[in-house]
Amino acid sequence: MSSYKIGEVADLLGVSVDSVRRLADSGRLATTRTTGGQRVVDGRQLARFMASRPAEAKPETTVGRSARNHLPGIVTRVVKDRVMAQVEMQAGPYRLVSLISREAADELGLAPGVRAVALVKATNVIVELPKA
């Protein structure tokens, strides 16, 4: 399963690296250390943490944005049947739900803790994987 460096967690949460360290130091966000001593957060644990946070609107820091329909986040839940999959994501303060084919969800390897990008177009949400 995926694990995320502190800087990546900060990007996903929309907070500073110091804020993530404080969350870890207070015990609110579990981290482990790599063999090199770097702190990392397990993807599934991060998904649970993000899904449990209350949705709070973040103040806008820019006047305009052209790519407002790309929402980077993390998968928090995937429910599959024979044909379709319901994918839930947390992108900053936003919870998104997308219905996609089971085949697409399987090909993308979507599971709680996987980093993904929601692409919103009209009433459809398309899930993409970011470049590593």
Is 82 within the bounds of a domain?
A: yes
DSSP string, 41-109: EEHHHHHHHHHHS---PPPP-SS--S-TTEEEEEEEEEEE-SSEEEEEEEETTEEEEEEEEHHHHHHHT
Is 63 within the bounds of a domain?
A: no
Q: pLDDT above 90 covers what percent of the chain?
A: 53
Question: What's the number of domains the chain is made of?
Answer: 2
Is 29 within the bounds of a domain?
A: yes
Is 54 within the bounds of a domain?
A: no
pTM (predicted TM-score) = 0.59
Is 110 within the bounds of a domain?
A: yes
pLDDT tens, residue by residue, 88-117: 999 888 899 999 999 999 999 999 999 998
Is 59 within the bounds of a domain?
A: no
Same domain, 82 and 34: no
CA angle 116, 119, 120 (to 5 degrees): 140
CATH code for position 104: 2.40.50.100
Domain with 93 in it: 70-128
